[in-house]
Amino acid sequence: MIEMMEAMDASGQAQPILASWSESDRAEGRDFAAWTNFAATPYISFTHGERFATNHANPVAAEVYGLFEDIGEMPAGGIVAKPTFSIGPDGQAYWETLFLMEKAEAGTSPDTNDWIYTAIMPDGSLMGRTLGANSDGMYFCAACHMGMSDNTDDLLFMEEQYRLRN
Ligand code: HEC
């Protein structure tokens, strides 16, 4: 067993990663990996379980997410994904929750400023989605984002030192 792992290391093969977001029924669980990453480096998100995080924007969102505080509004169809991971005692990265914010057409979700909040567990199962499964349990996402937002369409952004500069 140990020999096998050493052999894997030596051949540069990826270590096993205990996450299956790609098993999710939601396409974002697979698609986000190809979106634009706006984080220059993973940073610790204290508001999302004190895990390491990066921020990825789909093509619609990527047009404007880099404006950060000057964003004004996210157009409908924009999705921002925030994958999180922790480092285990073994020094290995373990994927945690995948957080998603999707801007829907105006009027879709007046209670959340037309944002749909989704969380996908490491095994690919859905923790919940506003307007969908466990909708009520997901409103805390909106409550915090709406409460902290200052004319940024409920987006809160990572701290400046972690942002990718063009
Ligand atoms: C207690 C406040 C709080 C709660 C609760 C919260 N967030 Fe966040 N969220 C933030 C802050 C602050 C940021 C930006 C900084 C960071 O990530 O640490 C952020 C960033 C994000 C981003 C990246 C887009 C952006 O705002 O720049 C997504 C996606 C996201 N959150 C989704 C969620 C989802 C889904 C939930 C619920 C499961 C949730 N958040 C719950 C505070 C919160």
Handedness of CA 129, 132, 137, 140 (dihedral sign): positive
Angle at 16 between CA 15 and CA 21, to 5 degrees: 125
Q: Residue 160: CA atoms inside 13 Å, Cβ hemisphere, count?
A: 1
The whole-number average pLDDT for the span 146-162 is 95
pLDDT of 8 = 46
- In this structure, the residues whose C-beta lies within 6 A of any atom of ligand 1 are 45, 47-48, 53, 55, 80, 82, 99-101, 117-119, 140-141, 144-145, 148, 155-158
Angle at 153 between CA 152 and CA 157, to 5 degrees: 55
pLDDT of 52 = 95
pLDDT tens, 74-128?
999 999 999 999 988 888 888 899 999 999 999 999 999 999 999 999 999 999 9
Q: How far is the CA of 166 from the centre of ligand 1 (A)?
A: 23
Q: What percent of the chain has pLDDT over 90?
A: 76
Residue with tokens 């801007």: 103
Burial 133-156 (b: 16+ CB within 10 A, else e): eeeeebeebbeebeeeeeebbbbe
CA atoms of 85 and 44, how far apart (whole Å): 9
